Structure 1
């Protein structure tokens, strides 16, 4: 008999099996690449047989760690619509057939299934035919979801993502646009959809993750916006899904206060595969963060579950897949401990003892303490990460100079970071000081039977990150440039891509033609420390700045770093 936990919903993302043989150099891990999967011929048959085998393995392994629900992507790619071209209909029919088999594998293991959908998926034909008429788009989306429920009665519900669309790299006939612009629009849509979900006895999960676009773009942290979203919604078939913090899955973030707003059912989201912290290539333990948030959640209104991302998130080359084959040890450690702490109320020490025994506990804890210190002080610049800054509708991430699989040695980042950090020498010292942890970490890893190679990869990567600190906060000289380029060559030689994915080292020493005085003025005008908007924000930062960008972005787009223009939804998303 399985151990009884406190939550009804213990959710894990099931996208890993779909990325088998997916050989792109840099992968978009935000969702299953359904538009690119094989659907015809022998190659498709071979691919899908392997996916089924891996899904069977995946569900047994996550079930053993305490999960009871798996999420899959996505509604529009498995539900036929009359507007689809013949080629798209062929793809959807095959995807629907294979998804039914996979869903049955999950259900046979005793787990629930939720299917995701952005708000709202459209084809070019639909976009042209509806011409932006909101009422027609809303009716289409409602019908699409209802058709999905009828065609997939075995699925337990749908997870809506309403504040983020597809990345700029996503191709295919179905693309997701940002349909919802205000909390009022979202509220009306949810109430309308909930009538049908209640009728069909299916759960509707709404994620509050937003990227700053439109007035609803601050939903992740704006308490009034959350209340507007949920006004009048009271249903056993509705769940609000919230990330633990007020931004993406970073450290140094306070608990999202929305857990204490309104009485609707809620689940809390964590990320075991840390997309900004190596994505499972090296240890990045979150157990103590989870334990602290769990303590702070006492008194939260109607928390009914947890959702842990073990594969989803980020644009990078790191490609280990959790709970499949060799798996991803560090991700699965995070995943297992998160369930133990939140679902079963254990301390981190109790959770670690359950998996490693009390004899090894001291060594395990010591290793994780050392590696956590490396993350907290060697990856994040502690002084900057502890600050709270907002730009327009977005809380500024506490990590800028390392992002996904990129380490930046770039003058614009140098100029900006120096304006947010006073004790520059401490920032430099911290980066180098944590490198001293690695000798003991290697010894402990060897004793525990953990991957010494992963620890060495982490060490080599963090030597570069420490060098990036020196570049940012120390005076620039030609010798500094040569040292950086030499270190970059050494890193590439130590970790050739043919052997394992590695960080991309992005160097650009071209000076930003902007004086320190002007940067300070921009900081005062456009950045604020408080969540609430100033009059200046309403008049200039939100409205005027967005208008100016739309007016001139084509002329000056090339001046914006490619990383900001081309990654995810692009910088233009937060300026809508």
Structure 2
């Protein structure tokens, strides 16, 4: 009776814990879908004339960016590495020849931008030329002050020329900006980099005072807090940033500190709301309530708030940014001319109509719109895209159309789309009426063609939240990375499945539109009277677009039909995804062969999509392998061998084979790592408990958990499990409850081993020792290799979360994992190991017990 009560209690406890875990998991992974209010460009009319925006800023374009063919196309880093050939680590700190070349480019660029109507330029720099006088940060014999003096002279020439041309100079820096000496100072005097302390910001306040005093030409500084760290820092360069400002209070302390300087010197603090979902202030960029909470009580005529025009990053299929419709601060609207998420603008992609629509709406709603900031080069991993620097190298002409038009819009918000578009065509290709008409037509159809071709509109045009965040509409093809993780594939199909025929049709429509654009260009080629040198590149760009979009079209067809087969198991979908897979393989191979070594029109990154195709093609094999292994395990359980060693050996073999099937035999690191840990655990059970009970009974819950997962895999393979995991609340509840019951069943068996060898504390001590060893081993791996790198390798093998996450901020940042997590795991494992060891030593007072008892000794 007592045993039955115990079993009932354990079962109830396991079920309750399983339900709680499932509830937490469902809250995090639940998919929510809603409609977007997307811009309707036909409603563009402004209704009245507005004066020119007071502040019209542009970035530095391609000035100072070295076109290094040897290292281009191999780097997802966001650091542009501007002035890389100019700055030297040692004295004289500046390469004079490289500086003269860059200075000439800068003067040419300033002349061009001034002629377009810009009156301000953003120039990256801050920490590189300030000494924090009054603080003992740099020693007297340090190279830092010497370097900073040289760099101040370097920057001064830029500032002087820009000012002569009527361009206001605005510095740009990430916060927290840091170098080795500064970090050491904070550690010594503040115990670390504590952004919640006013003393911390007083140091930077002094630095800003220096910067403004050194450079009277500088009219302000832009501050970004939302992106920083390794992917944005330059390797080997002792000036970088860390992502530390994550709370409303730290933002306010920082801004109040800087505004004191700005107000006393009448310079602007331009604060970017770009916060990319990180921390408490993560939605400041798009949520008016969070914006007001963070910035609402900050008031200064010298504070300007700068925000991207769309509700998110520079993605297609987004509403306008609602935070720009309200607020009491002066506002700057950020526009990107070289669209990083749309083939880096190396193909036709005329975004000006959308920019005009956005500006018109913001001017109507918000009297505090003060200016615009156009990015002609900035944004995204520069060297992973085409080798284009505006306006110096590569095919920058399509970007120039956006720069020209957005500059015209900022200078005259009331001008018409027809006016500025036709003016650019005339300036570029001549005034032939047929050329003007046809090239204008090509431009106006370009953005919708490319945006639809690079996304799955049935998914992208809806708000989709899942995995704890809003899924970007461009996640299917992010930069040059074709996404095929099970989470994203599952979400895309789940959202688009009701519109599947239309989604498939939309996949191929941009290919046909691209071919129409090729015909348009060919029809006017003989009539073009100027800019003929561009024609070969323009034709290549359209050929490149056609090749890319055709490849993506067949991949979309494969992806959608494959997941419909996973979902429904119908033979029609099976046939169609197999056909689409073969077509994709053919066109992808053609695309890759034509463009893999072409730096101007580089092949896209199909690494993850090819891995998905490879694993999907093995689905049938994995289904039958799962069924066979499941049968073998059930037979093994049924016949229950009395040999503990044989049971251990067979269970170990089963687990390694199971891990192989679970990962479609495509994840060697995952299989070996988890297989070794599981083998160690089984060996520990064998070493400690083999003589206390029939060993196959101890292994039964372990094999049951394997059998449970195999039974799911045997339906339609590993993708079936992951599709249901990502999309089904009921499946997650079932999985959590059953696995929780199996875990408690395993513990129940171990803790009821009551014989002459073990007591409750004896079992507990051995489990602490065993589990502590495993956790400690994991912690050591994470500490040595790095948690981010470890998770990225495993994710690339298993295709779980978007592969691009590890190539931007990183998986650990997106999941908000503490930096010290590896050490926490290591310490936790060590504590368990030590506790287990101490308990065993306390229990064994008689040293002779060690030789008498299996395992360690009697308890």
Fold similarity call, TM over 0.5 = yes
Aligned counterpart, 2:813: 573
> How many residues end up aligned between the 2 structures?
551
Give how far 1:207 is off: 0.3
Pairing partner for 1:239 from 279, 284, 304: 304
Pairwise CA distance, 1:391: 5.3
Alpha-carbon shift at residue 574 of structure 1 (Å): 2.9
Give the one of 318, 322, 327 matched to 2:390: 322
RMSD: 3.1
Match of 2:137 in 1: 83
Q: 2:101 aligns with which of 44, 50, 54?
A: 50
Partner of 2:124: 73
Deviation at 1:21, TM superposition (A): 3.3
Among 83, 105, 111, which residue is 2:167 paired with?
A: 111
Report what 1:307 is aligned to: 373
Mapping of residues 339-488 of structure 1, within 5 Å: 339-345=407-413, 346-357=415-426, 359=433, 360-390=435-465, 394-409=469-484, 411-422=486-497, 423-446=499-522, 447=524, 449=528, 450=535, 451-475=538-562, 480-488=580-588
Deviates more, 1:32-41 or 1:330-339: 32-41
Q: Secondary structure at the match of 2:586?
A: helix
Q: How does 1:270-285 map to 2 (within 5 A)?
A: 270-285=335-350
CA distance in 1, matches of 2:312, 2:76: 19
Given that 1:281 and 1:330 are in contact with CA atoms closer than 8 Å, whether structure 2 keeps it comes out as yes
Separation in 2, partners of 1:523, 1:90: 65
Farther-moved stretch of structure 1 (179-188 vs 232-241)? 179-188
Shift of 1:471: 2.2
Contact 2:79 2:231 in 1 (8 A): no
Q: Does 1:176 align with 2:241?
A: yes
**Does the CA contact (< 8 Å) of 2:272 and 2:305 recur in 1?**
yes
Q: CA deviation at 1:318?
A: 1.7
Moved more, 213-222 or 426-435: 426-435
CA deviation profile, 1:267-312 (whole Å, cap 9, x unmatched): 1111000000011211111122122213322121400100111100
Secondary structure of 1:117 counterpart? strand
Q: Counterpart of 1:234 in 2: which secondary structure?
A: coil
TM-score normalised according to structure 2 size: 0.60
Distance 1:246 1:391, change over 3 A: farther
The structure-2 alpha-carbon separation of the partners of 1:18 and 1:523, relative to structure 1 and needing over 3 Å to count, comes to: farther
Q: Is the 8 A contact 2:515 2:546 kept in 1?
A: no
Aligned equivalents of 1:505 and 1:73: distance in 2?
33
Query: 2:552 aligns to what SS in structure 1?
Result: helix
**Contact 1:264 1:301 (C-alpha < 8 Å) held by counterparts:** no
Q: Helix, strand or coil: the match of 2:63?
A: helix
Cα deviation, residue 180, structure 1 = 1.7
Q: Deviations over 1:104-124 (max 9, x none)?
A: 222222211101111111223
How far residue 397 of structure 1 moved from its aligned partner, in angstroms, is: 1.2
SS at match of 1:205: strand
Cα deviation, residue 197, structure 1: 0.4
SS in 1 for 2:231: coil
Runs of 4+ deviating beyond 6 Å: 522-525
Residue 88 to residue 482, structure 1, CA distance change in 2 (3 Å): farther
Who is 2:404 aligned against?
336
- The answer to whether the 8 Å contact 1:61/1:323 transfers is no
Contact 1:218 1:393 in 2 (8 A): no
Whole-Å separation in 2 of the counterparts to 1:375 and 1:428? 16
Deviation of residue 567 (structure 1)? 1.6
Once the 2 structures are TM-superposed, how far is the Cα of residue 402 of structure 1 from its aligned partner? 1.0
Whole-angstrom distance in 1 between the partners of 2:484 and 2:391 = 35
Q: Tell me, which stretches of 5 or more residues in structure 2 are unaligned? A: 1-49, 529-534, 563-573, 617-717, 733-781, 798-802, 817-859
Q: 1:42 to 1:91 in 2, by over 3 A?
A: closer
After TM superposition, give the deviation of residue 35 of structure 1 in Å: 8.4
| Matched residue, 2:611 | 508
Once the two structures are TM-superposed, the CA of residue 95 in structure 1 deviates from its matched residue by 3.2
Bigger CA radius of gyration: 2
Q: CA deviation at 1:29?
A: 7.4
What is aligned with 2:215? Answer: 152
Give the drift of 1:30. 4.3
Q: Are the equivalent residues in 2 in contact too, given 1:432–1:466 (CA < 8 A)?
A: yes
For the structure 1 residues 496 and 393, does the alpha-carbon distance in structure 2 shift closer, same or farther, using more than 3 Å as the test?
closer
- 2:597 equivalent in structure 1: 497
Answer yes or no: is the 8 Å Cα contact 1:119–1:161 preserved in 2: yes
Aligned CA distance change for structure 1 residues 208 and 32 (closer, same or farther; 3 Å): same
Displacement after TM superposition at 1:393 (Å): 7.9
Higher relative helix content: 2
Describe the SS at the equivalent of 1:419: helix
Give, in whole Å, the separation in 2 of the partners of 1:573 and 1:524.
28
- Alpha-carbon distance between aligned partners in 1 of 2:323 and 2:168, rounded to the nearest angstrom: 26
SS of equivalent residue, structure 1 residue 164: coil
Query: Which structure features the higher share of strand residues?
Result: 1
Q: 1:253 Cα deviation (Å)?
A: 1.3
For the Cα contact (< 8 Å) 2:66–2:84, is it kept in 1? no
> How far apart, in 1, do the equivalents of 2:595 and 2:354 lie?
31
TM-score by length of 1: 0.87
Higher mean C-alpha deviation, range 337-346 or range 309-318: 337-346
**Change in 2 beyond 3 A, CA 1:320/1:489:** same
Output aligned runs, 1:171-320, within 5 Å: 171=235, 172-297=237-362, 298-315=364-381, 316-320=384-388
Q: Which residue of 1 aligns with 2:27?
A: none
Structure 2 distance, partners of 1:231, 1:325, is 43
SS of the equivalent of 1:268 reads strand
Structure 1 residues 180 and 523: CA distance shift in structure 2, 3 A: farther
Alpha-carbon distance between aligned partners in 2 of 1:266 and 1:524, rounded to the nearest angstrom: 47
SS in 2 for 1:388: strand
In the alignment, which residue of structure 2 is the partner of 1:138?
Answer: 201
1:558 maps to what in 2? Answer: 793
Contact 1:156–1:203 under 8 Å retained in 2:
yes
Please give the per-residue CA displacement for 1:178-216, whole angstroms capped at 9, x wherever unaligned.
Answer: 232222321232123212101111111000011211101
User: What is the CA deviation profile of residues 407-450 of structure 1, one whole-angstrom value per residue up to 9, with x for unaligned ones?
Assistant: 34555543332122122222221121221123331232241655
Q: Residues 440-483 of structure 1: CA distance to partner in whole angstroms, max 9, x if unpaired? A: 31232241655112111111111111122112112365665454
Q: Matched residues in 2 for 1:70 and 1:504: separation?
A: 34
Task: Indicate how the Cα distance of structure 1 residues 79 and 15 shifts in structure 2: closer, same or farther if over 3 A, else same.
Answer: farther
C-alpha displacement of 1:69? 0.7
Cα deviation, residue 332, structure 1? 0.9
Output one character per residue of 1:473-532: Cα deviation in whole Å (capped at 9) or x when no partner. 12365665454333332112222424534122222123665343221137999xxxxxxx
Is 2:487–2:726's contact at 8 Å kept on the other side of the alignment?
no
Once the two structures are TM-superposed, the CA of residue 83 in structure 1 deviates from its matched residue by: 3.3
Q: For 1:392 and 1:9, how far apart are their aligned partners in 2? A: 40
Distance 1:272 1:34, change over 3 A: closer
